[in-house]
Structure 1
């Protein structure tokens, strides 16, 4: 009996340790990758949208009283650009010219300061790798740096080994930026992104909607808690079988046990499945065929497009 009990507790201990390890992995994976799924990515292989065009569209939308306008951020990566510090030290780094919220296009954690605001034409944010290469330190807030002959001042430092610099594109610039991030509130982000491009008069591009991927991430994040809830439910049923001869005690026991399980399940707060992936009829095979076809086409288009730093971050975090 003692040997069986010891084996039982050992199994429980091992299960608890495995659950803790799974939870740690899930938390790390979730926090790294979820930031890539909160908005819709749009890429143009040729052309794009300029900051001045976006400003005009937003101005017209406000004048027309158009509601539910998404938050839009334009950006472009210029690889291997020369950056020079005040002591004439130079280094090659990737420059990301953004127009909008820089935090929407990167998942790196800020270690100090902030990303330059949309109206900040003289500010920039540098990676820790770039800061160490140029100054040998990450305590560089306010330091001047020259990019293509123009002087910028460091407003923030973000955690990344690759030498990278973020700056804001000018609002009156007619230069086309080939990437856009759209943040919507509510379901149907991919379809709404297509409608937005059409109504705004912007060219059609590759649309990557990661709504389903975000739902999967949420489920992975909650997986250890789900397993724990199912395990507790199994234990409740197992102990409840011993009270089958005592109906009154069994009823009280099950009422308390299932109440505890219901509270636990409520605390897990499972994510709502994206409404655009739910058919009106589950036997609608045409819907399922089109769904898998569109999602497969979406992923193939994304992988086939020229990868940028944001894509690489998502690939690395996913694998």
Structure 2
């Protein structure tokens, strides 16, 4: 216990362990990069040729890595799913079809699971890619393609816990995903469609119509309204402004808190005035089908916090406040 406390209180060996681990793993990834060759190209082509799903399978720590690789492939344009190697023997093999491709991950390349899974996949006509640290293993022998992830040693000082080997496997999975991504010309909009809940997805997929205020929530007065009526509408809707429309529903102006202050400075008592006396004519409009991120840019460029929204015929369709964009996490 005393020795443990001494180690905890001494920063040097703790930092040394951290740095040593990172150095070992970074060198292993560099080594893998240097020996990457034709088998990698063949594997990527097989992934691209797959007309079904990429089924990534592993057991133990390799299973955790396999799950992440499947998720990365799916999110970058290559439909994939994870299959636990043990569960595969108890019914999950039924998820595979002739159109699929199996990526089997096992550092040792041994294990009874693979002796049942891989031949079963092969009988269906499924291409099998092995990712293993033992190219001479049973798994490698049974597979169509083999990617070698051998490392000199684990970062674990006992050389037992999968550390360097799992890091290298994960990096190779990323390399496969990125190579497929570029070959498919997968772009930011494709990524957004796969991540609609993420920041990029919201920015690239959300339109003004999705976040604007409409109907009873939209502040609007006729051009014949008095300043008093206008202020009542602004107070009810809480946007710090109101749209001003003509008899045809066309937006002819916008009246804001700033317009009110300027009008008070000029006229003093404004209760008898019409809204047209102080409104900003020909207001900035944005199409309801425009992207919400474009509305944010207009507001930023023009140093305004509200926008009126028009439909395809130019009629007032809604109103948008900077807070609406913030609430939708567009900005």
Q: TM class, shorter-chain normalised?
A: under 0.3
Q: Computing the radius of gyration over CA atoms, which structure comes out larger, 1 or 2?
A: 2
